Amino acid sequence: MIIPCIDLQDGKVVQLVQGREKALEGGTPEEMLERFAAFRQIQAIDLDAAMDRGSNDELVELIASRAIARVGGGVRSPGRAHALISQGAHRVIVGTAAFNRPVLESIAQAIGPERLVVALDSKGGNVVVRGWRETTEFTAEEMLPHLEPYCSGFLCTYVDKEGMLQGTDLDWFRRLRAATQHELTAAGGITTLEEIRELQKLGIHAALGMAIYTGRLDLEELARLNG
């Protein structure tokens, strides 16, 4: 499955490079939802909430109410996760909170593991948290089996190439695929149809941002590939 991304910052749809430098702004959330209408699911991330710099709650609620959306960014409590589900989110993405076992357990209990996706984003070989600003001592490969009981899938971003349109690391995603039978979604640097097809062969979904916002990948062609 191909999943277009809507990242929110300061009330706008944006694309960042490696989670830091804003590269471009997209249309309004309503315009982006219309552009992505042919896709079965979308992904919405509140970057301000992820970085503890406020939130874009109204826009998140708008997106969650109008599309089958997986939503993340700053989800660090069962109350927040439950609120997103109540607003219409199909699934909730948790990153930083996954490294606090009691919090992760309480979120999984609040919404059910089937509604929970754990984000394991890697930079320089290690998982990064808090809006990719803090590096942990763990690799994504070693964390996957420990987190499986609490979720139904993983969102794994190769941060080293995020937003750079230079391709991603397919070997890393192959290692992740070998480490878990859970659903996997790849993100970070995916630039070509060939990469998407290779991920599909591995049974891995592709979350796309910069490549579609810049027109590097054509939405109609992606919709056909998505079936």
* pLDDT of 167: 92
- Which of 46, 57, 121, 160 is catalytic? The answer is 121
Using an 8 Å Cβ cutoff, are 3 and 207 in contact?
Answer: yes
In Å, how far from its chain's centre is CA 208? Answer: 9
Q: What confidence score (pLDDT) does residue 124 get?
A: 93
Neighbours of 65 (CB within 10 A): 11
Q: What are phi and psi of 213, to 5 degrees?
A: -70, -30
- Residue range 2-226 forms a domain whose CATH class is alpha beta
- Among residues 56, 69, 54, the alpha carbon closest in space to that of 13 is found at 56
Query: Is 57 tagged catalytic?
Result: no
Per-residue pLDDT 10s for the chain (227 aa) are 999 999 999 999 999 887 777 888 989 999 999 999 999 999 999 999 988 899 999 999 999 999 999 999 999 999 999 999 999 999 999 999 999 999 999 999 999 999 999 999 999 999 999 888 899 999 999 999 999 999 999 999 999 888 778 899 999 999 999 999 999 999 999 999 999 999 999 999 999 999 999 999 999 999 999 97
Contact 204, 173 (CB under 8 A): yes
**What are the CA-CA distances from residue 28 to residues 4, 31, 41, 152 (Å)?**
15, 5, 18, 31
The domain locations on the chain are 2-226
Is 7 a catalytic site residue?
yes
The pair of three-digit structure tokens given for residue 217, joined into one six-digit string:
């990948």
